[in-house]
Amino acid sequence: MIEKTLSIIKPDGVKAGHTGKIIQIFEEKGFEIKSIKKVHLTKSQAEGFYYVHRERPFFNSLVSFMTEGPVVLMVLSGENAIAGNREIMGATNPKDAKEGTIRKMFAESIERNVVHGSDSPESARFEIPYFFNVFEIL
Ligand code: IDP
Ligand code: MG
């Protein structure tokens, strides 16, 4: 099934100059970039995006990380794009991430882990329209 998923290159990945390499990985894996933009999230935008994690002990630190610099937001599409993107990203903690995954290659810690990807169709249905309107998805 062709799916759409939200991908974010987080502030650590953007700052380190990994944007181009990460986009290249997605294209080589067969994803289509349906939309892309670079933004500097506000505190309330980051809090709203990570609302499901509001009770977690790392929430404030995560929001502060996600607002420390610009991020690159993308809508990716492809066959099983949601699970496929999670596979290419690797485990949340780079220590557990498989060889060849983005997090294994570029992430420094469980928090500063370079990329976000929707974890389910339900998440994608919330996350894509959180940042993109229908006319921006081509
Ligand atoms: P995911 O990004 O792999 O889906 P989630 O559990 O949804 O992982 O957590 C969202 C984000 O919160 C992670 O990508 C990471 O940046 C941060 N995070 C998750 N767990 C921890 C933790 O135990 N300590 C610090 N930050 C964390
Ligand atoms: Mg998640």
53 is catalytic: no
Ligand closest to Cα of 53 equals 1
> In this predicted structure, what is the pLDDT of residue 78?
98
pLDDT band at 44 (very low <50, low <70, confident <90, very high): very high
The response to whether residue 3 sits with its C-beta less than 6 Å from ligand 1 reads no
Using a 10 angstrom Cβ sphere, with 0-12 exposed, 13-18 middle and 19 or more buried, the burial of residue 124 is buried
> In this predicted structure, what is the pLDDT of residue 67?
99
The response to whether residue 116 sits with its C-beta less than 6 Å from ligand 1 reads yes
How far apart, in whole angstroms, are the C-alpha atoms of residue 43 and residue 20?
Answer: 26
> In this predicted structure, what is the pLDDT of residue 20?
98
Q: Across residues 33-61, what is the average pLDDT?
A: 98
The response to whether residue 130 sits with its C-beta less than 6 Å from ligand 1 reads no
pLDDT band at 127 (very low <50, low <70, confident <90, very high): very high
Q: Which amino acid is at 47?
A: E
Q: Name the 3-class secondary structure at 55.
A: coil
* Token pair recorded at residue 107: 């992430």
Q: Across residues 93-109, what is the average pLDDT?
A: 98
Is the four-CA dihedral 77, 50, 73, 93 of positive or negative sign? negative
Query: Among candidates 124, 117, 131, 134, which has minimal Cα distance to 37?
Result: 131
pLDDT band at 17 (very low <50, low <70, confident <90, very high): very high
- Note whether 131 and 35 are within 8 A (CB): no
Please give the model's pTM, rounded to 2 decimal places: 0.98
